[in-house]
Amino acid sequence: MENDTRKMLEALSRGEISVDEALLKLKTKPFEDIGYAKVDTHRAVRQGVAEVIYGAGKTVDQIRGIVKTMQEAGQKTILITRLSKESSYELKKNLEFKYFEEARIGVVGEPAVPSGIGKIVVATGGTSDIPIAEEAAVTAETFGNEVERIYDVGVAGLHRLLSRLDVIMSASVIIAIAGMEGALASVIGGLADCPVIAVPTSVGYGASFNGLSALLSMLNSCASGVSVVNIDNGFGAGYLAHMINHMGRSDS
């Protein structure tokens, strides 16, 4: 892989290919096949953020092998989502990383320095939504964003949310996380002048159908500027918020 890159750079220096052609080759460079996984080592070049390891369903040895491959390709910071506490203990025996238990995220290396155009606000309807909120918040912080949390501000006590209007109005992106009927996203969407990313959670009683009720409520929001990710997808919301918060930045 390194030899291919060197040849391409040498061709660039000789004027045999243009800068745009070289960049295109970098963006379309093949993955690294390690047998049980095909590691996309050039995703950061194409998308601005490196491949993220989804920890659920993978063995500790598989995760360790993918991390090693990414590090050998020059990746400094690696995010491991949905990583169980038990797997984190095993990984720590020969891998240095920080584990965020509530978010179920492991971070190898140091988080990026905050460089977004503004601040990402993560809000939850209730305390039970915090694990998903932390997944979103830690994801956004790792990718290089300033994050402010406002938790347990659901519509059952609307005054709690209204007491934080200054935070809501100062955000560049807001992630609204709620279960039950998922009304928080619509309320915030009606107050904020920035994009709102709604995350339905599987929190709720029987008729919430494990988050389906909140999902449908958020999809049917009458507030403009509200987008919706999948049930319990805190990572997806944090990733999208990062992309919005870095729009127009050449170094993102």
Neighbours of 216 (CB within 10 A): 14
Q: Which of 11-25, 71-85, 148-162 has the highest mean pLDDT?
A: 148-162
Distance CA 170, CA 148 (A): 11
More confident residue, 3 or 156: 156
Q: Which two tokens stand for residue 241?
A: 């918020």
| pLDDT tens by residue, 212-244 | 999 999 999 999 889 999 999 999 999 999 999
Asked if residue 3 has pLDDT above 60, the reply is no
Which sign does the torsion angle of CA 182, 185, 187, 190 carry? negative
Over residues 175-198, the pLDDT tens digits come to: 999 999 999 999 999 999 999 999
State whether the Cα torsion 150-50-57-63 is positive or negative: negative
What are 33-84's pLDDT values in tens digits?
Answer: 667 777 777 676 666 777 889 999 999 999 998 998 888 877 888 899 999 9
pLDDT digits (tens, 9 = 90+) for 99-145: 999 999 999 988 888 888 999 999 999 999 999 999 999 999 999 99
> How many angstroms separate the Cα of 107 from the Cα of each of 3, 76, 99, 129, 226?
29, 10, 6, 22, 29
Among 230, 105, 129, 243, which Cα is nearest to 184's? 129
Predicted confidence (pLDDT) per residue in 167-180, tens digit: 999 999 999 999 99
Q: How many CA atoms lie within 13 A of 38 on its CB side?
A: 3
pLDDT tops 70 at residue 28: no
Per-residue model confidence (pLDDT) at position 250: 52
Q: Which domains does the chain have, with CATH numbers?
A: 17-108 (no CATH), 119-245 (3.40.50.1970)
Pairing of strands 32-33, 38-39: antiparallel
- How many angstroms from the chain centroid is the CA of residue 207? 29
